[in-house]
A = this chain, B = another copy of it.
Amino acid sequence: MKIVVDAMGGDNGSKIVVDALVEFKKENPSVDIVVVGDENELSSLKDICEVVPSQSQVPMDAKALDVMRMKDSSMLIALNKTVEEDADAVVTCGSTGGFLSASTLMLKLIPGVKRAAFVAPFPTAIKGKKVVILDVGANNENTSDELYQFGYMGRAYCQAVYGIEEPNVFLLNNGTEEGKGSPAVKEAYTLFKKSEFPGFMGNIEARTVLNGLADVVVCDGFSGNTLLKGTEGTASLIMNEFKKILRKNWWTKIGYIHIRKGVKELRETLDYKSVGGAMLLGINKVAVKAHGNSDAHTFLCALDVAKKLAENDVVTKIKEGLGVHEPEQ
């Protein structure tokens, strides 16, 4: 197995990537790593990885059209290497928009796939259980066909990463009854239903997405992005309020001593960093976008996710799903 890593462009510099790779190689000595970035900053990796030098990096706010011109950037060199060496996966913590457009153009969409989607695992009320939501922001809007395809991508992700053989799949909607929703969502419901999509359970409301019953939730990129960021915002609001409550006076500080272990665990459950990043599904390679503000631990999680997805051949699983069950119209 070969994983290509773009070491530049994250908020915390290449140091966190170096640390993560050292750890990753210790645990996975047989995985070949090609790492692209500033030669000096990556010099300590020379004995364990192939280091490819780059001169620049794609800025966080890069416009889609500009990215392809940045040929000497670490991200484009990394994507080129992925193609040239037929690597299994590519991982970056650089610009999301840049990675989306460059990897779609350079690694290409899986034949038949209309749009790639970012998939993110969310914490749920059931300990250790995640719910996989897609698209969380690769697209600004989606057609019913695209939503239908997301179903297969989410299913393949769930099988590959969590080993759930028959994941259940829901459609995000503003009500649970059939016939609810925007025209695209209504049509998607019909596609799922008519094709007897494996594990399709109907509509789900945002209120119950995190209750642990759903394995996969399909939605358009705008709603998914709203859900992802709304969840993060609400969690952060409440955790901050709790901090205030616990620090109020001597008595509450004593209270905190008794519950701090539980609070720490909850904070970890809610911490999006522990899931490593969002994967771009629907293209011909495993492509993982680690969070821009990743630390070494987060980046290591992103590398682990990439390895798991490559090992379990998520790309082939998506191809099989889409090939066997093309939407009937």
List the interface of chain A (C-beta within 8 A of B).
61, 123-125, 137, 140-141, 172, 174, 177, 181-183, 185, 205-211, 219, 221-223, 225-242, 244-246, 248, 251-252, 254-259, 262-263, 265-266, 269-270
Contact = CB atoms under 8 A, between A and B. Distances in A.
Contacts of A231: 230, 233-234
30 contacts: A123-B237, A125-B241, A140-B185, A141-B183, A174-B226, A182-B222, A205-B229, A206-B227, A206-B228, A206-B229, A206-B232, A207-B236, A208-B233, A210-B233, A211-B233, A211-B237, A222-B223, A223-B223, A223-B226, A230-B234, A231-B233, A238-B266, A238-B270, A245-B259, A246-B262, A252-B258, A254-B255, A255-B256, A255-B257, A259-B259
Nearest to A235: B234
A324 to B, nearest CB: 31
A251 B239 CA distance: 21
A239 B245 CA distance: 14
A242 B237 CA distance: 14
| Interface SS of A by simple majority | helix
A221 B140 contact: no
A294 B242 CA distance: 27
B230 A245 contact: no
Copies of this chain present in the complex amount to 2
Contact of A230 (B183, B209, B236, B242): B209
B137 A174 contact: yes
Nearest to A142: B182
Nearest to A209: B233
B210 A234 contact: yes
A7 to B, nearest CB: 25
Contacts of A235: 234, 238
A98 to B, nearest CB: 13
Nearest to A264: B245
A252 B261 CA distance: 10
A175 B233 CA distance: 14
A257 B239 CA distance: 19
Complex A-B, nearest 10 residue pairs according to Cβ-Cβ distance, in ascending order: A255-B258, A245-B262, A206-B229, A206-B230, A207-B229, A255-B255, A234-B234, A174-B225, A207-B233, A251-B258
Most buried by B among A123, A205, A265: A205
A174 B166 CA distance: 32
Nearest to A225: B174
A160 B158 CA distance: 48
B237 A210 contact: yes
A258 B262 contact: no
Chain B CB within 10 Å — which of A172, A206, A221, A228 has the most?
A: A206
Contacts of A225: 174, 206
A68 to B, nearest CB: 18
